[in-house]
Structure 1
Amino acid sequence: MKNRVHITSLYGLGGIAGVAQKRAVEAAKQLGFNELAIFKYDDLTDSPSELSKRIDGIIAGLEIGDTVIFQSPVWISPNFEKRFIDKVKLYQGKVIIFINDVPPMMFASNEVLMPDFIEVYNKADLLIVSSENMKEYLVDKGVTVKKIIIQNLWDIPVEFEKTSETKYLSKISFAGSDKKFGISEKLKSSDIKVEIYDNRPDNKVIPNNIHYSGYVDEISLLSRLHEGGFGLVWTENMYWREYMKYNASYKVSTYLRAGIPIVAHKSISCANLIEKNHWGILVDTLEEAVEVINNMSEEEYQKYIDSVSKVSFLLSSNWFTKKLLVDAMYEL
């Protein structure tokens, strides 16, 4: 009988991280892979024997020689990840770890956990990492796995209404927390329109060029972004900017799926892709971005739109994730 391929999916996790995992699973199912459901819980309440039984239940459908794609992190604990992978390896198949995020890099309070996560990653036969920068970083931190595949982009397999052609607008859109990423503070004195998909702050004077649209559902967001202008992938928080050198940003894929060019810092992990494929502009400061946008002709903008439309189509069909998973299986 042919060995099967399984992929883990975390339940009980909200936000973009939860959506990203579920979409990876949907792409995997389209390839005939099987889902292994893991529910997010506090494993510190489990004794070693309870943890063992819990994992046995999750992997009850495995057979000798099966391959498991483990999406990490599961936001439970490195201990759970270690024990889970050790159990899977008893079935004598292959283990692929698909690294969605690296918690010790995301939060200063978690930096102490890096050796634990490196130990987890080194249990894999193959790693899927977000970028070339991430690969170099993890190898420098002690990863010894020889087979490493680069992800680069998340898919956005969503259809949305396109009410008009995308056109040049002296406008920057930002989908995310203004307070967390510090966007309005940097752009409030510029002459460019800024659309922030976040709730309007209370007791704060809002400059005329800044508009808060509140949080909208993904389909509405894509439809509104599609009208034109530029999508901003940015933070003024230096800790997060450092992490953006390594992770695969969901915002990048959102703007590309919407069909608009990106504005990003030159250090972003996918800078080479953006530059090579003419997906947007890379700058050192937001002031520089405003200047470039205001001096851009409609003809120049249309060239960006033509380039972005090609990748938008691919993002809509899970092309990147399916290719990634097929490449990983082939590499094994």
Structure 2
Amino acid sequence: MNYYLKEIKPLNSRSNKTGGAKIRQDVEKILSKQNFTAIAIPNIPRLGNIDYISVSLLNHYRVMRLWQKRIAFLKEGDNLVIQFPLIIQHSIFLKRVLKSLTRKKIKIILIIHDLESLRVTKRQDISIIKQFILNKEEKLFLKYAFKIIVHNSTMKRYLIKQGFEKQKLISIEIFDYLISNFDKNKFESRKIAKNQPIIIAGTLRYHKASYIYHLPSNVKFNLYGVGYDEKIQQSNVNYNGAFSPEELPYRLDGSYGLVWDGDSIYSCTGIYGKYLRINDPHKLSLYLVAGLPVIIWKGAAQADFVRKNGCGLIIDSLTNIQSIINSVSNENYLLMKRRAQKMGEKLHSGFFLKKLLNQLI
């Protein structure tokens, strides 16, 4: 039988307007349609003052006991999909659970959304204890997985260098982006054209995307997302607010979707800029499902995907973005747009995860 863990945690308004929850929900919908059965793991409220080690360890122990109870019925030959990182990060005792699953010859299929060892643990505001726990958790789940669904070939090569077996790793290429109750009329009413502003969508918080406050003044931009500081006036920037991931594709008006992160317009730098070298940013899926050709940093892992599928432009710096756009003919722009729309149809149908599941199960 085929199962997946469904972590249940109340989502606040902030997470409702970011892609983190969306991608997990889409995976669950696809798994359900592929006849996987959900195993619910509810959120356990923390006990006491977590600054005390004994209280913290008790919380971790309670999570382990909950997992043991919920998955006790699994038997040899079953498949269990786990999305990683976990939402509920009290997991230092889960080694017992994972070892028990492997002893029973239950196959753990891990879907990697982020490698926190390359992202969150690099931040200066993260405590040493939390860094230790996140790194330990990551190595633990990667070790006991039967198969690991990674983002792309770059992430695959990185994990091989870290000592993980090549045969365990399989690339999804790009994450799907489902749209419930698709409205074709709303989709076609948007302004998508070569002469429109460039779109920047996603988390606009300073620690992740401070480059947006230094955008070249000779190009117009439409911004969508949470965390933008509207007090900073930029005459060429129009902030359009934040929308749910389901609504956002209908709201995007512009010419291209920009895939860029970090603190510089000259290159993708900083923790999140460098992270683009290995991950599949969900905003790429968003732009393509919205039928937008993209502009992506040449050092990004997904630059190869854009190049192979002919659905956008690859640049090294935002400083020369206007001249690059001007060099694109109307015919070439329309061709990229058609290719983006075609790719978007695949993403909307859950094509990429379904293809992997058919290979694995």
Q: Same fold (TM over 0.5)?
A: yes
Aligned residues: 323
| Distance (Å, rounded) in 2 between the aligned partners of 1:152 and 1:283 | 20
Equivalent of residue 36 in structure 2, options 28, 33, 46: 33
Equivalent of residue 21 in structure 1, options 21, 24, 49: 24
CA contact (8 A) 1:122 1:144 kept: no
Using the TM superposition, name which of 266-275 and 118-127 deviates more.
118-127
1:58 equivalent in alignment to 2:70: yes
Alpha-carbon distance, 1:211 to partner:
0.8
| Distance (Å, rounded) in 2 between the aligned partners of 1:128 and 1:219 | 24
Alpha-carbon distance, 1:23 to partner:
1.2
Task: For residue 7 of structure 2, give the secondary structure of its aligned residue in structure 1.
Answer: strand
CA distance 1:7–1:145, change in 2 (3 Å): farther
CA contact (8 A) 2:198 2:254 kept: no
Alpha-carbon distance, 1:138 to partner:
1.5
Match of 2:6 in 1: 9
1:186 equivalent in alignment to 2:214: yes
CA contact (8 A) 2:194 2:330 kept: yes
CA contact (8 A) 2:175 2:352 kept: yes
Match of 1:122 in 2: 143
Q: Letter of the aligned partner of 2:306 in structure 1?
A: I
Identity of aligned pairs, percent? Answer: 24
| Distance (Å, rounded) in 2 between the aligned partners of 1:182 and 1:172 | 17
Q: Letter of the aligned partner of 1:28 in structure 2?
A: L
1:213 equivalent in alignment to 2:249: no
Equivalent of residue 86 in structure 1, options 99, 112, 130: 99
CA contact (8 A) 1:9 1:22 kept: no
CA contact (8 A) 2:310 2:336 kept: yes
| Distance (Å, rounded) in 2 between the aligned partners of 1:61 and 1:295 | 61
Superposed CA deviations along residues 74-130 of structure 1, whole A, max 9, x for unmatched, are: 141452543332232243221212111111111214654535522321212211111
Alpha-carbon distance, 1:169 to partner:
2.3
Q: Letter of the aligned partner of 1:181 in structure 2?
A: A
Match of 1:222 in 2: 249
Superposed CA deviations along residues 287-324 of structure 1, whole A, max 9, x for unmatched, are: 22232113322222101011111111111111111112
| Distance (Å, rounded) in 1 between the aligned partners of 2:93 and 2:291 | 40
Equivalent of residue 257 in structure 2, options 217, 231, 238: 231
CA contact (8 A) 1:55 1:84 kept: yes
Superposed CA deviations along residues 239-263 of structure 1, whole A, max 9, x for unmatched, are: 1111111112110000000000111
Alpha-carbon distance, 1:63 to partner:
2.9
Give the alignment's TM-score, normalised by structure 2.
0.81
Alpha-carbon distance, 1:52 to partner:
4.3
| Distance (Å, rounded) in 2 between the aligned partners of 1:269 and 1:81 | 31
Unaligned runs of 5+ in 1: none
Q: Letter of the aligned partner of 1:155 in structure 2?
A: D
- CA root-mean-square deviation: 2.4
1:105 equivalent in alignment to 2:121: no
CA distance 1:145–1:292, change in 2 (3 Å): closer
| Distance (Å, rounded) in 2 between the aligned partners of 1:73 and 1:200 | 26
Superposed CA deviations along residues 16-54 of structure 1, whole A, max 9, x for unmatched, are: 222212211110111111112223455935377644431
Equivalent of residue 79 in structure 2, options 57, 67, 74: 67
CA distance 1:87–1:304, change in 2 (3 Å): same
Give the alignment's TM-score, normalised by structure 1.
0.88
Superposed CA deviations along residues 218-256 of structure 1, whole A, max 9, x for unmatched, are: 34421232x440101111332111111111211000000
| Distance (Å, rounded) in 2 between the aligned partners of 1:27 and 1:51 | 26
Q: Letter of the aligned partner of 1:278 in structure 2?
A: G
Task: For residue 77 of structure 2, give the secondary structure of its aligned residue in structure 1.
Answer: coil
